[in-house]
Every structure is written in structure tokens, then in C-alpha cells.
Structure 1
Amino acid sequence: MISRLRSAIPLLAARPILAAGVVPPSAGQGGRHPGGGDPGGSSVANGSPLGLATPITRIRGVGPFISNALERMGIRTVGELLAHYPRSHLDFATRTRICDLVPDRPVTIWGTIRRCEAFAPPRRPNLSINTVWVSDGTGSIAGRWFLATASRGQQEAWKRRFPAGHQILLSGVPKPDKKSGRLVFDRPEAEVLGPGEDDDNAESLHVGRIVPVYRLTEGLGQKALRRVVHEALEFAGPYLDDPLPPAILATYGLRSKAEALQGIHFPGTLEDRDSARSRLVFDELFWLQLGLAFKRAHLSDEGDGLILELRPGGYVDQLRDHLPFRLTDAQERVFTEILADLAREQPMNRLVQGDVGSGKTVVALLALLAAVDNGYQGALMAPTEILAEQHYHTFKKLLTPLKIEVALLLGKQTKKHRDVYLDALATGFCKIAVGTHALIQEGVKFQNLGLVVIDEQHRFGVRQRKLLRDKGGSDTTQVEVLTMTATPIPRTLAMAMYGDLDVSAIDELPPGRKPVTTRWLKGKTGRKHTWDLVKREVAAGRQAYVVFPLVEESEKLDLKSATQEYERLGAEELKGLRLGLLHGQMPPDDKEAAVHAFRNREIDVLVATTVVEVGVDVPNATVMVIENAERFGLSQLHQLRGRVGRGADESHCILLGDADSEGAKERLDVMCATQNGFVIAEKDLQLRGPGEFIGTRQSGIPDLMLADLRTDSEILEQARKAAFEVIAGDPGLEMHAALRDGMLDAYKANLSFLGIG
């Protein structure tokens, strides 16, 4: 089936599917609407239409100036224009008498133009204040426009647009004038009615209705864009064929695609707008889920998984016997799920998420040993050298009693050192490899790679993960892959972005862990308390971190930097203590030396950037100070706090900074209120939206233009159910050509994600 889809890709490239639902005209129609003539009357400037793939230059009213402006926003076709959804709507549908106007409420009034004037204030001769006075029998109000020109000719031309005695529709938000206190409309939308027109038969895209508000670019105004979108809708109507089967539309009460596009751009009512949005959100989430369901259904297309079974008395059991602690119930549950995956013929496709300090590393090691017990090698890839070295030291410590050799591959190694490890992996002497991107470099060969563990998987792209997986396997089998993350994923995000994976959660911390006391301190008094605490902890034989958002000072940002504060703290507040410096721009050897010195207690206080977010595990460190804490996201703050609280002593996390927004204040309050990473992840989603979570997948999944995973969870569940039911009945989409085309178009930026690139 995959090969059949691959063969369809050139055909799709030959006929652009810029929005699901395009019906290109047949050859027999000569490129014209089936009924004869251009569809939508005169909406097409000239030439034969191509459906939604029609260039925008063929739409009436789109000349070089507007087409260039649209192209700057990535809009080149009718389909792309119709997918440029409004960012908001203004409800100008409510007609209100002037005497009933209230401040700050969007309204439309209908009245008579009494007079019009335009003048330039003496102190600002280049500014023209243009005013129209309107009355409706119940009162009068002014509409004002401020224009950056004051030539007499332009002012006279402007006044001719508003002849006294004509009827006018004004839509806007009335506000009190700063001087007189009377209500005025500033920059309202205005429509002057022609002779014989009244407000009932006047048609306008800008007043007296619910008006779309679009994202713009320089040189393109709202009115011009509304007119162009309206023309495009008229043109596209006959060429919109709904890609969703009637059964799905009926089951979930969805309106047609054509109705939805009309309703999102020019709704008749707010309910019409909301209904249109729901349909278009369903579409976005359906294509996303259909791709995930398709990928999940075709895991075995490139070979079966290796059947790895638990061997009684093997290395897994031996490690359990040597561990100085018992696994938590959550660790046991997740390891059991991993073993069940490894024992199946279908390739493993599991993501393990866990809170900081929950014990993911030992679960990963047990999984790697299960591969070794079955005669295979295992590899763990980490995103940073600090984290890779931390895993290497942990593995060495735990595996020395078992006499299992571990290889470490880093980009900074000498050729001699690297060649020793390469030979050990190629001959099978080393059963487990730990490394960074160096693991996927050419020349790295395994004797018999069976399991790959990818830590902090969101920091690697699809291609990098595939390169490591391809280091093993055969024509008929695939290397097993286990991915891990220390950033808990909110349930809605897990469903939306990781629907192709089985997701496990280590949601329990080892017993005996003391909570980290977290405080948000401000001002000079707060700083004095902070540095006094650091000095007391160091005097008691413990250590501390001080984290800054920047490496060097920035003229644009009023933030503290690690390098400058390292010097200042050593000379002032922390004078007499042994300070070390760690940041991402240091040479690898210097970074390793700093971490090594801190781990060996040769440094009292490690001044650092967020490079310490993962991979630095020093149980003797009991204080984490975060400067400019308001500049960090919740999940990052939580990861930094996770660097302390790893030993038996009470630990502290101090958040320093003044919250410059309500969002920042709420983030810091949440940090002080809870230490549950899963609760923090849900709150982070609510506060900042899904952008950062979505971005971390790095997999080419479709963009979400309308859907908001914070509020559209119900639609997500419906779309997921519909998509997975389709794939369950038709895994190759052979009976659903429109759905197949829509899925391929949605994932066109990265077809390799579906396994068909």
C-alpha cells in the first residue's frame, strides 16, 4: 500500500491540491464553468479557471500591487487566500439609535450626513483631521479620521465622498472624546448610500454586518482584502467538493465545506461564524489524526519488529538484584508495557514521559538490557554532551557489577579515543552505546543493534531518529525504538500530536524525596535572603546553582547575564566562595571540566545558563536560584528546579524577578503552588497555548491555523475517532480517494513522517 501511495505523489504534484475539496474543471468543459461562462459571474478577470489552484491574479480587483502584498503573506492561489482566515470579527450587525449608544460597544448607526469638514491643526500641519457629522432624529454624532496628509486638493476630494443630505452607515466603537466628553467614532467603517438606497437594501462588506478582521501586511488594508476574499468566494463556490464522506458530516453534525468558508469569512450571525469555525477546526484536526492513524497502521510495512523476550536470570534480573533501591509502581508499570511491546511482532512505537527525577533512566537501561539478553546491542542518544555523559556515568556505575561494557560517542572526542569505541561496537565487545548526534555519523557500525532509546526526543528531527534506527535491522526486521521525554505532555497534546504513539507516564517519584521549597522573592530584601541562604548551605557542605537567561549582556534586553554576574557575584555577594561558570558557548572540554568540578565538590556555586536544564545530576546541590525568572516558561522553570532535591537534604528553589505581566505572575505563582510536572504542563498549555509543545515534535505535522487545543478538545476527540475508524476499515485509503488526497496534501511538507517520502 505504501508503494501505491508513493506512486501517487507525482500525480499530486502535477495537480496542486492547495485545499482539500478542489474540483478542477474537466477537459470537456474547456476550462469553463459547467453552466457556461465564468463561475461567480465576473469574479475571474480573464482566462479559464483552475479551481482553488487558480492564481490570485485571475481574481477581479487583484492587480500587481495587491498580488505582491498577498504574496508577501505566502498567498498565491485562491485556495491559499480562502485559508487566510480572519483573526477576529467585529459585530457591526447591531443597528442602534444614536441616543442609545454606549461607550466601547461595536455598533452600526444609520443616519443623514449633516456636514463634513477637513482641517490641519496649526501645530501639526501635515495631519488632516477629517470629520463627518451624522444625525438620525434621536441625536447626532461625529465620525473622525486622522490622515497623514493636509493638501487642500486631497481634503476637498475627501469631503466630496460625504455629500450633505445623503444617507450613511457608520460602524465602529464609540468612545468619549477626551476634551468634550461626547461620544465620537474614531476611524469608523463608513458606507455612503446612493440615491434611492436605504439601509435595508444597501449591501456592504464593511458596515452593518459581522465584519472579518484579517492579518495584514504593509500596503494592504482591511477593505481591500475583504473585497478580494469576497470575489474569491464567489469564484470558488462551484469548485468546492466536500472531501469528507457524508457519513462523517452526518455523524458529527458538520456543515458543508462551502458553507463553512462563507461562514468564517462573512458570517450572517455569530452562531453562523461559530458553526463555520467548528467545521474548519474539525477539518484541521481530522487531517492531522488521519495521518497519525495511517502511520500507526503501517508500522510494519518496512519490516517486523524484533521479538525480544524477558530472559529469567539474565542481565535484567541481575540489575534488579544490584539496584540500591526498589522500582516505583509507575516504573514497574511502564517497564511491563515496554516488555509487552518488545515481545510483539509489531515494531514498538512507545513514548515514555516522566516528571523530573521520576526514574526514566533506569527504566531505559532495563529496556536496553532486555535487548542484550536477547543477543542484541542497545544505544541511547541524548541531545547534549552533558546529558550523554551523565547517562554514561550512570550506566557505568550500575553495569560494572554486571561486567557489561558501555561505549561513549561524542563529537568532541579524539580520533584515537573514538576509534576504540567504534571497534568495540562493530565487534560486539560493547553491548551498549551512549552518545549524541555522533551516534548517527557515518562510520558508526554496530554488530547487531536491536534497541534504540532516544532521550529528550523532541530535540531530534525525524531524519536524525531514522538514521540511528537504520544502524540495525535487516530487510525483514526493524530496530525497536523507545523515545523518552522529561517534559510531561498534557493529555490533549498527547492525543493531538502523538496519536501515532503509545504513551506511557512515569507519574510517581521515588519514595523519600523531599519537596523542594519554592519561593518567589523580589527587591533588595529578597536578594539578601537569597544570598544568605546560599552562603548558609555552602557553609553546611552543600552546593548551589545560579541560573541566568543570557550568556552575555544585551543592549536590547534588560536582563542579567551569566558571564557578567559570575564576575560580580564572586567579587560581592558570594565573595569567598568557589564559583564556576557553565554556558552553551563554552568549548566542550571547558563545559565538561566545569560539570566535573561541580560534581566533585571543587565548586561551591555553579553560575550557568539553561544548559543545566537537563543532564547535570549532583545530589549534593540543594539550592537553585533563577534570575529573571519571569522570562522563563513554566516547563523550563520546572526542569531547572529538578536539578535540586535529588539527595536526602532539604532543597530550595528561589525565583528572583519582577513579573512584568499577568501571565508571568501566574507562572511564578504556579511554581510556588505545585511540584507536579503533569499539573504544571496542563497549566503551561492554558497560559501559553500549544505552540511550544507542537514545535518540539519537529516532524512536519500539519499546521493548525484555527484549532486551539486548549478549547477544542471535544472536536479533537471527534476528529480522532472519525479518522481512526476510517483507517480501521480502509488502512490504505483505497476506498477513500478524496481522503487519501487530503491527507497527502496536509502532510506535503514532510511526507517522510507518513513513511512514504
Structure 2
Amino acid sequence: LMGRREALRAVHFPKDGEELKRARYRLAFSELYLIQCGLLLIKKQSQQTRLGIRHQPNGKLVKAVLSGLPFTLTHDQQQAWQEIYRDMERTVPMRRLVQGDVGSGKTVIAMLALVKTVASGWQGAMMAPTEILAAQHYENLSAKLAPLGIRVGYLSGHLTPRERREMHEAIARHEVDIVIGTHALIQDDVHFARLGLVITDEQHRFGIAQRAALEKKGAHVPDVLVMTATPIPRTMTLTVYGDLDVSLIRELPPGRQPIRTFVRRPDRRPLIYQYVRSQIEAGRQAYVVCPLIEMNEESDLPSAEEVYDELRYGIFRGIPCGLVHGKLAPAEKERVMQDFYADKIKLLVSTTVIEVGVNVPNASIMVIEHAERFGLAQLHQLRGRIGRGSYASYCILVSEGKTENARERLRIMATVSDGFKLAEEDLRLRGPGQFFGSMQHGLPDLKIARVPEDIAILLEAHKAAEATLTSQGDLDFIRPILVLQYKERFQHIMEN
């Protein structure tokens, strides 16, 4: 590699194209190499310097849960489960990411892992990003596991001080086997008696530091399982989740209805909403998603508030409608979502707050206003809110599609339903900056390297970082550089 000083000069004042290329390679390589060293060091420290928990082989309890499922696991689910339980049976702490498309059945795998830790005499914790998602996980797991004698607890910011105190005491005394909760799980006053497994759902909503805080809740190093429904191209998982092993679930479980997606111009809105009303009258529920919360002087787009008023006083008069957006007080947002979940609200007007969300099998239709304002990954996440029951489901993208890029994006959305293919297309259309930015909470920003264009450099850097970590001398040399370069970004690498 060219020297650093020489590369910095050459990248600004190159003698020729060849020198510029070599200089850029040198700088991009060192940037990616340092990030890979940081991520691999996190992995090495959790796996090698601290002894993990060795879970027992799958016994009666796990078999009882598997045989009680109303369906057979898909091939991908079986593969992911096999990778997880083998990890859990080793003394090296598990650090695994389960990446599955919307509705691919990751929760079942999480449940099996939680049951396995309980069967081995440990406690499990599962952290979800929203109250409503945590509550839903709690209801589902309680219904399935309570009959087997497994005690499931719930912890959130909405509990009264007394309820919270009682739950904290139950967790500390091992009177609860599995705790489902929100960020409340990582508060200082939560102490587990025997924490054996930590699961975080929708990982991109939590930074590395939050994940680490939950891992430190027990006296032993727990196994860690991370789940995300945000498909990331395979080559990028190295950069975003370089400290984790990856399991993929691509198949959808049998019985899931395909979602038919249509692109329509705004002049078709009366017909679209007439159709939505007929679906609601047939017993279904519907979402309407808008890009803005309230009126905005710089934009002529109708806001969620305006659309809500227009619909409930207009074509949906007499039908229970609800409005949910990020500026609502959490308790109000929770109440509206709960009413929609309970079928008291038939039409929910929303911003993207429903992107990570509730499972409402009865919701079979979604209208996305000004769909050109959303990226492909976000549209796919939104669309994943429907098609969860046994009813035919429809997603209608309303857009004028003025630019070629917007038209292309919506055309792809209407024809491709595989989230992994969409992620590749999203990367191609939007460029890595935006895509990468939304994925890497807690990771350092890239200044010169470009993913995915620099994938070849990334793979070289990954190999070099692996070699560095096998040599104590190289590791001692690189550690202070990581501290200088990234400071608190990789702070918890340095804590041990």
C-alpha cells in the first residue's frame, strides 16, 4: 500500500489517473480495515475472553413447542434454528443475526431459542423497539408458553411504579423465565438472576451500545440473537453487522397471501377509496400512509392530518377512523394502535410510524399517498403490514411519478416482492450513502470508501482484519488507533 501521507497528497494532487486510483485505494482500504478491526474485536472479546453459557441439547420442552406448532417450519427456518441451537450448545457466546423478510417467521425461531434457554435453567430477555410490538410479542408468547409452565413477564415504561418494582423483583428472584420489553429492559435498576439469552428485535432501531447494555445484565455472558426484517444485500452485512454471524430466512411460510401491488395516478383517488370502503364493509381493515404529519409551507403535499380529516368527513363518513404519527404522545399513539389491533378502528391514517409494527391479520389493504417520497426498502416494510392473514391483500401506490427514477422505483415495487432483491435494487438506485446511513446506527461514517462499489476492497480489508486479530503484536498496535479514530463509537470494545 502507498504510505498514508503520500496517499493524502496524491488524492488531492495526483500526477495521473493511476496515482489517484492507488491513493484512493489506500485511503478506502484503511478506513474499511479499521471498521472491520473494530467489529471483529467486539466479536472476539465477547467470544474468547469471556466464557459463555453452554446450553443443554434440545429436550422435552423444545420438542413440545415444536410439535405444538400449527405448521411445519420452512427449510430456511429449520436451517436458522439449527445454526442457533448449535451456537447455544457451545461455550463460546452466540452472536447471531437472523435476517428475514417481512413475515418470514422470525418470531417462531426466537420463541424456540427462548424456550431452550429456559429448559437449561436460564432466563431469556427479548427487547422490541415499540410498546405495541413488545405487547404483541408478550401476548403471543404467553398464550403459547404459559400452558407449558413457562413464566413470561412484561416490562415497559407504561407500567405503574408499583407494577415495575414488582416485575424487577420477580426478574431478580428468577420468578420470571422470559421477559419481553422495550428500552425499559436496559434501565440500571433491572437485574436478572440468570440471564442466558438476549434477543433484540428490529436491530436497526437499536445502536450497538444499547445491545451491549442488555448483554451486561447478567453475571455470565449471555447468548445474543439479533433479528431484523430489513433485508440487506449479503455483501453489506459484513460492514453493517460485521460482529455477528448471519442466518437468512428467505422463504415465506405457506398460507401467506401474496400482496398484489398497483401504481395509480392521483386522479384515480375517488375510485381507489371507493374500493377501500367496499373492502372495509366486507369486514377488512385498511391503512392509508402519508409522507408528512402536518401542513408544511414548503410543501404542497397533503399531510396525514389533512388526509385524515378529508377521509373521515368524506367517503369514510360513518366508519371508525384513526390517526397515528410520530408527534403524538406515546400513550395516545399506543391507544390508537391498540384500537386498530382490536378491530375498533377500521381505517388507520398514518405516517411511517407503522413501518415496524403490529401484526393485524385482518388488515388487507394499504394505500400509500405520494409513494415516490419513499425509498424501496421503506415501501417494502410498509407493505409488509398487510398480507398477514388469509385474505387477498392489495397495496396501492398513489403517485404522479414525475421523474424517471421515481417511475422506475415504483415499477420495481409493483413487480418484485422479494425483500432481498428489492434491497439490491434500492442500493443500485439510491446509492450507498442513504442506504448505508439508515442502517448503521452506532457505526462510524465512511468518508472515502463507498459501499457497494468498494466491495472488493471491503473483502480484502475483512481478510486483513482477521489476520490482525490472530496476532497479539498487531492487535496491540491497532487498538490505540481505533480508540483515537472512533472514540466512543467503539467505546465498549475498550472496556475490557
State the partner residue of 1:679. 421
Alignment pair present for 1:374 and 2:113: no
User: Are 1:493 and 1:690, in contact at CA under 8 Å, matched by a contact in 2?
Assistant: no
| SS of structure 2 residue aligned to 1:504 | strand
Map 1:329-728 onto structure 2 (within 5 A): 329-473=75-219, 477-525=220-268, 527-696=269-438, 700-728=442-470
CA distance in structure 1 between the aligned counterparts of 2:483 and 2:439, rounded to whole angstroms: 19
Letter in 2 for 1:263: A
**Does 1:752 find its partner at 2:491?**
yes
Distance 1:441 1:500 in 2: 24
Match of 2:16 in 1: 269
Name the CA distance, whole Å, in 2 between partners of 1:426 and 1:592.
28
Contact 1:323 1:398 in 2 (8 A): no
**CA apart distance, 1:422:** 2.6
Deviations for 1:688-735, whole angstroms, at most 9, x for unmatched residues? 23334544555654332111112111111112112212323x0x3x25
Shift of residue 317, structure 1, vs aligned partner: 1.4
Tell me how far apart the structure 1 counterparts of residues 246 and 162 of structure 2 sit (CA, whole Å). Answer: 40
Deviation of 1:736 (Å): 6.5
Flag the 1:410–1:554 CA change in 2: closer, same or farther, 3 A. same
Report the counterpart of residue 303 of structure 1 in structure 2. Answer: 50
Judged with a 3 Å threshold, the aligned counterparts in structure 2 of structure 1 residues 299 and 418 are, in CA distance, closer, same or farther, namely closer
Distance 1:642 1:380 in 2: 22
Q: Measure the CA separation in 2 of the matches of 1:741 and 1:441.
A: 30
Q: Answer whether contact 2:48 2:92 (CA < 8 A) is retained.
A: no
> Cα 1:258–1:449, aligned 2, differ >3 Å: closer, same or farther?
closer
Contact 1:261–1:276, Cα closer than 8 Å, also in 2: yes
For 1:334 and 1:340, how far apart are their aligned partners in 2?
A: 10
AA aligned to 1:292 is: L
The Cα shift of 1:597 comes to 2.2
C-alpha change, 1:607 and 1:701, in structure 2 (3 Å) is closer
**CA contact under 8 A between 1:382 and 1:388: conserved in structure 2?**
yes
Q: For residues 48 and 435 of structure 2, what CA distance do their matches in structure 1 show?
A: 29
Is this contact kept in 2: 1:702–1:746, CA < 8 A? no
The structure-2 alpha-carbon separation of the partners of 1:726 and 1:427, relative to structure 1 and needing over 3 Å to count, comes to closer
Are the equivalent residues in 2 in contact too, given 1:305–1:480 (CA < 8 A)?
A: yes
- Name the CA distance, whole Å, in 2 between partners of 1:273 and 1:514: 52
User: How much is the aligned-residue C-alpha RMSD, in angstroms?
Assistant: 2.0
Q: Report if the CA contact (8 A) 2:42-2:493 is conserved.
A: yes
Q: Which SS does the other structure have where 1:747 is aligned?
A: helix
Greater helix fraction, Structure 1 or Structure 2: 2
5+ residue gaps, structure 2:
none
Kept after mapping to 2: 8 A contact 1:700/1:747: no
The equivalences for 1:22-41 within 5 A come to none
The residue that corresponds to 1:72 in the other structure is none
Aligned to 2:2: 255
| TM-score normalized by the length of structure 1 | 0.63
Tell me the matched-pair count. 496
Q: Give the structure, 1 or 2, with the largest relative contact order (CA under 8 Å, sep 6 or more).
A: 2
Are 2:469 and 2:475, in contact at CA under 8 Å, matched by a contact in 1?
no
TM-score normalised by the chain length of structure 2 = 0.94
Contact 2:47 2:94 in 1 (8 A): no
C-alpha displacement of 1:646: 0.8
- Deviation track 1:57-115 (CA, whole Å, cap 9, x = no partner) reads xxxxxxxxxxxxxxxxxxxxxxxxxxxxxxxxxxxxxxxxxxxxxxxxxxxxxxxxxxx
Distance 1:736 1:391 in 2: 42
The residue that corresponds to 1:148 in the other structure is none
Which of 284, 287, 292 is 2:39 aligned to?
292
Q: 1 CA distance for matches of 2:329 and 2:444?
A: 37
Structure whose alpha-carbon radius of gyration is higher: 1
Sequence identity, in percent? 47
